[in-house]
Each structure stands twice: as structure tokens, then as C-alpha cells.
Amino acid sequence: MPRESSLKRREPTTQFEAPELMFAELDGLLGYLLRRAQGAMHRDFMAAVSDFELTQKQAAALWLIHANGGVSQVEVAAALGMDRATMMAVTDRLEDRGFIIRKRSSVDRRRQELYLTPSGQSTLKKCKARIAEHEEKFRDMFTASELAALLEALKKFQTLG
């Protein structure tokens, strides 16, 4: 069957078929490619940890609270680059699900310390195993030196964020 030449008359056979549009350099933009790459990895992350119903932000918070028992909400937010409102929503959700507890500091009564519950610890452990597989899948696309260069390049973005 001859390929149709006119875009206007072309009907994609499924909604997932990517039509051959003119990108007019959009797909050469660093910002565009970064967003698409993050979108791809985000979808795979959500599928990998779907049993636990954790978002990337919630998983990262759980990870950091575990590694820094007694840390405050403000400290986790700063380390992860989240604003106050986002961090509040994340910790509320993790607390509601019984994964973390808030404890008032015995040293400074104004300070609330965050800790993982046993359920939070067990979930994080299982979640980390899934994340490791998910990471591996993407890392495997690169040679060791390509991967090292990519990680180094990605770290630089935070200096401009």
C-alpha cells in the first residue's frame, strides 16, 4: 500500500502511533528532551512501585527520613528541593498511611522529628528493591562512562535551579 503523502489525509491506525510531524527543532531543545526523558522514567517508576502506591516524592522523603531518623520536615524539604506546601502534603500522606510518625523533640519543643514506623521501614525496603530494578533497566542503556557523564551532567542542573 503506497504511503500517503499528505499529513491531512493521514489517519493514525491507533491512538499510540506517533505521526511523522515536523518538530521544527522542538526535539532538539534540551528542555523538551529532559521533560520527555523524565516522563519516560516517571511512568516506569510508577509502574515499578505500583504495589506500594508511592509517588517519586513520597519515596524520596521516606528514603531520607529513614537515613536521617529524627530529621525535621523543613530539613527534608530543603534537601529534596520541595516547597513547604508540597512537603506538608507528602508527610501528611506518609503519616496517614502509617509509614512515618511525628514526634516532638525533647531538646527543642518547637521541633517535630520524623521517624519511620516498622511498616514504613518494611515498605521502603521492598520499594528499594523495585527501584533498583527500575534503575538498572535505564542504566543498562549506557556504557559505564556514558552513565558517569550523564549523572555528572544532571547534577549540574541544580546549580541553575
Task: Give rounded-to-5 percent helix, strand, coil for the chain.
Answer: 60, 5, 35
Pair 100, 62: CB distance under 8 Å: yes
Instruction: Give the residue, chosen from 1, 2, 5, 22, that forms a contact with a copy of itself under the rule CB under 8 A.
Output: 22
Give the cell for residue 159.
546549580
Residues from 118 through 157 that contact a copy of itself (CB under 8 A): 131, 134-135, 137-139, 141-142, 146-147, 149-151, 153-157
User: What minimum distance in Å lies between the beta carbon of 112 and a copy of itself?
Assistant: 11
x-or-dash string of contact with a copy of itself, 88-117, rule CB under 8 A: -----------------x-xx--x-x----
Q: Give the range of 29-37, 92-100, 114-122 binding a copy of itself by CB under 8 A.
A: 29-37
Pair 130, 151: CB distance under 8 Å: no
| Distances 148 to 28, 72, 75, 151 between C-alpha atoms, Å | 22, 32, 28, 5
Instruction: Give the residue, chosen from 35, 102, 104, 126, that forms a contact with a copy of itself under the rule CB under 8 A.
Output: 35
Q: Of 129, 111, 41, which is closest to residue 73 (Cα–Cα)?
A: 111
Q: Give the range of 4-12, 93-101, 114-122 binding a copy of itself by CB under 8 A.
A: 4-12
Q: Which one, 105 or 119, has the nearer CB to a copy of itself?
A: 105
Residue 101, beta-bridge partner list: 115
